[in-house]
Amino acid sequence: MKKIENIIIAGGGTAGWMAAAALGKLLGKAVKITLIESDEIGTVGVGEATIPTMVFFHKLLEINEREFMRETNATFKLGIQFENWRQLNHKYLHAFGVTGKDCWAAGFQHFWLRGKELGIAEEFGHYCLERRAAEEHLFSHLPNNGLNYAFHLDASLYAKYLRKFSEGFGVRRVEGKISHVSTAESNGFIEAITLESGARLEADFFIDCTGFRALLMEQALHTGYEDWSHWLPCDSAIAVQTESTSAPVPYTRSIARTAGWQWRIPLQHRVGNGLVYCSQYLDDESAKKLLLNNIDGEPLNAPRVIKFRTGRRLKQWNKNCLAVGLSSGFLEPLESTSIHLIQQNIIRFLRMFPAGGVVQSDIDEFNRQAEFDIAHIRDFIILHYHVTERNDSEFWRYCRTMEVPESLRHRIQLFKETGRVFRDGNELFDDSWQQVMIGQGLMPKHHHPLVDTMSKEELQTFLQQISKNIDYTLAILSSHEEYVEHYCK
């Protein structure tokens, strides 16, 4: 029960500097915070798309949005367009907003299903403001968070921006490579980190942001890892940046390929591209060719291959060490959740900050909540692969027929038979489930009987009113390109 007065963050990058920014801003006056990183060690830094929870993280830290977007060449993001996922040449957009209008007894999808039967409903996404705005390349800030949005950003510039922010709150950066992590014989807690220079840095608590290597959490504390590659078989990614050839659109593109998928993320000054794939079905050289044959604009760097194994560290908090970022586990960036999971661990740690010393009940509760978060996101990502009509390659045949977690199997079955979707506790995704299930071709057999109490005319008026309200809002939005130009260029 040693009082926490001195914290070391091992590793920089997005994870390290997000942790430093939050701890520095909220605890900098009470706790000494040191971040160790080496200029010689590159960061993975390909994750350039985010989700709306980042807006709230920035509000918590009182970060100036305009300044942040200018410094990171950011654009706005309203969702992700999925191309070739359900079948070749089919696309749909998973947007950040809520679709339609729910009734307390039945979700909007039930009203929509009945409308489809009667031939009076547009496609499901037509009733979502964010989806319509994304497709029409529109954006504006609306009062009362009327438009849900996130960002496309340059991850390396974001780390630099947060470094400057953190140092303003007293965070100290130490340059150097970690050569050794010392643990106490009595309880196995980490005592100190030794650098290659010979410098030894001691602390009461350590945050592991050393990426896939997990120098503290795995190599020093031997925490263990749960492998999820039987559900998420992609194990490789190639990233390349290209010159912009057109105006940035307010959505990420995710284009399914024969053994994985390609991302396209538009920033102000360039485009981030990448291919996530399974090496069992596609070798690295063929993957590079596939990616380079499907990009617009001249490449700005040589493509680099990143190897990974999907899964989670068995504990996110172990003894006096917290894993943040890739050291805590990895879910591929299909739904842009990497930065969200970083900030979740940081915010949860701040809420449960062990000022008086580390206690096991805190650790157990933290790990329970963290497992809940990542398992629900895992299921949502598996859904995209498993619920598909694609049968054109060995990879897609595997994904279609693989066994999925029981929690996901139940959700799919419930929606298929009844059209019902229930949010489990405080899980991240809500409306997204039906957007993706319908987008992937999963249509319920039945709708809620409540909808049948409405006449055709009443239902038609209800659907038309939702559509008219969206039309009215779209009319007052700016073009995304023009808005970025005057707001944060």
pLDDT digits (tens, 9 = 90+) for 218-235: 999 999 999 999 999 999
**Alpha carbon distance 39, 50 (integer Å):** 25
CA–CA distance, 157 with 338 (Å, rounded to integer): 17
Is residue 365 packed enough to be buried (19+ CB in 10 Å), middle (13-18) or exposed (0-12)?
middle
**Tens of pLDDT, residues 233-258:** 999 999 999 999 999 999 999 999 99
Q: How far is CA 486 from the centre of its chain?
A: 27
Residues 124, 88: Cα–Cα separation, whole Å:
20
**Angstrom distance (rounded) from CA 188 to CA 225:** 19
| pLDDT higher than 70, residue 168 | yes
Q: Which one of the listed residues 3, 29, 32, 77 is annotated catalytic?
A: 77
Angle at 231 between CA 226 and CA 236, to 5 degrees: 85
Residue indicated by tokens 């070391």: 8
Please report which residue ranges of 320-441 form alpha helices under DSSP H.
338-351, 360-386, 394-401, 406-418, 431-439
What is the number of residues in the chain?
Answer: 489
pLDDT digits (tens, 9 = 90+) for 85-105: 999 999 999 999 999 998 878
Mean pLDDT (whole number) for 44-72: 90
**pLDDT of 23:** 97
Catalytic, 445? Answer no
So what's the pLDDT on residue 218?
A: 97
Region 49-66: mean pLDDT is: 96
Of the candidates 77, 193, 67, 198, which has an alpha carbon nearest to the alpha carbon of residue 130? 77
pLDDT at 28: 87
Q: Report helix, strand or coil for 280.
A: coil
Look at residue 45 in the predicted model and tell me its pLDDT.
55
- Sign of torsion over alpha carbons 89, 94, 99, 103: positive
Residue 41 has pLDDT above 80, yes or no: no
C-alpha distances (whole Å) from 71 to each of 64, 183, 269, 362, 428 are 11, 39, 12, 37, 28
Distance CA 279, CA 286 (A): 10
Q: What percent of the chain has pLDDT over 90?
A: 91
Q: pLDDT band for position 47 (50/70/90)?
A: low
The residues near 186 (Cβ < 8 Å, ≥ 6 apart) are none
Q: Please enumerate in sequence order all residues whose Cβ is within 8 A of that of 317, keeping only pairs 6 or more positions apart, or say none.
A: 323, 349, 362, 363, 366, 367, 370
Total Cβ atoms within 10 A of residue 202 = 11
| Beta strand spans in 101-246 (E) | 138-139, 150-152, 172-175, 178-183, 190-195, 200-202, 205-208, 225-227, 236-243
User: What residues form DSSP beta bridges with 274?
Assistant: 239, 263
CA–CA dist 156, 18 (Å, integer): 12
Taking residues 324-341, what's their average pLDDT? 94
Distance between CA 91 and CA 380 in Å, rounded? 18
Contact 276, 236 (CB under 8 A): yes
- Tokens (6 digits) for 60: 């918590």
For residues 308 and 296, give the distance between their C-alpha atoms in angstroms, rounded to a whole number.
Answer: 26
467-484 burial, b at 16+ Cβ within 10 Å, e below that, comes to beebeebeeebeebbebb
Angle between helices 338-351 and 53-61 (to 10 degrees): 40
What does the pLDDT read at residue 224?
Answer: 97
- According to the model, what pLDDT value does residue 220 have? 97
- State the pairing for strand pair 172-175/32-37: parallel
Only one residue has tokens 């950011």, namely 74
> Among 442, 350, 308, which residue's Cα sits nearest to residue 60?
350
- Looking at every residue in the chain, the average pLDDT score rounds to 95
> pTM of this prediction?
0.95
Residue 458 has pLDDT above 60, yes or no: yes
- Identify the band that residue 44 occupies on the pLDDT scale cut at 50, 70 and 90: low
Q: Which band of pLDDT confidence, cut at 50, 70 and 90, is reported for residue 374?
A: very high
For residue 63, count other CB atoms closer than 10 A to its CB. 17
Please give the CATH superfamily to which domain 6-48+154-229+310-358 belongs: FAD/NAD(P)-binding domain (3.50.50.60)
Burial of 75 (0-12, 13-18, 19+ CB in 10 A): buried
- Residue 339 pLDDT > 70: yes
CA angle 261, 262, 266 (to 5 degrees): 145
**Amino acid occupying residue 70:** R
Query: Where do the CATH 3.50.50.60 domains begin and end in the chain?
Result: 6-48+154-229+310-358
